[in-house]
Amino acid sequence: SSAITKSTKIVLNLESLGSLPADEAGPLARYASTIQAQRHDYNGKVLSIRTEDLKSLAIIYDMSPDELTTRLIEWGVLSPGADGSIYSDVD
C-alpha cells in the first residue's frame, strides 16, 4: 500500500525550496506561493500543505505521490517527522 495516507503530515521547507533550480522546483514553488497567498501566510520557514495537494503535485510532475515524496526528500524540501521518520502515520 502507499506510504502516503490521509494522516501523513506534509511540511515543506521553504528555505530549501527557494534555493533549488527553477526548472525542477518551479511548479512546486508556484504551488506553494499560491497557498501562501491564499492563507496570507508569508513569513514562515515551513508550510504545511494538504495531502490532496501532494496528489495534485504528483500529477503535475507525472509521478506517483510516493515517487514525488522521495524526490522532495532528496531535494531537502520535505522535513522529516519529529521522531526522525518521514511519516507520522497513525492509521
What residue ranges bind ligand C2E (CB under 6 A)?
A: 11, 35, 38-39, 41, 44, 46-51, 53
Q: Angle at which helices 51-60 and 65-74 pack, to 10 degrees? A: 90
SS3 9: coil
Q: Which three cell numbers stand for residue 83?
A: 521522531
SS (H, E, C) 71-85: HHHHCCCECCCCCCC
Nearer to ligand C2E, 1 or 21 (CB): 1
> Please, what is the minimum distance in Å from the beta carbon of residue 18 to ligand C2E?
14
Least spacing, CB of residue 23 vs ligand C2E, in Å: 24
Minimum CB separation of residue 70 from ligand C2E in Å reads 19
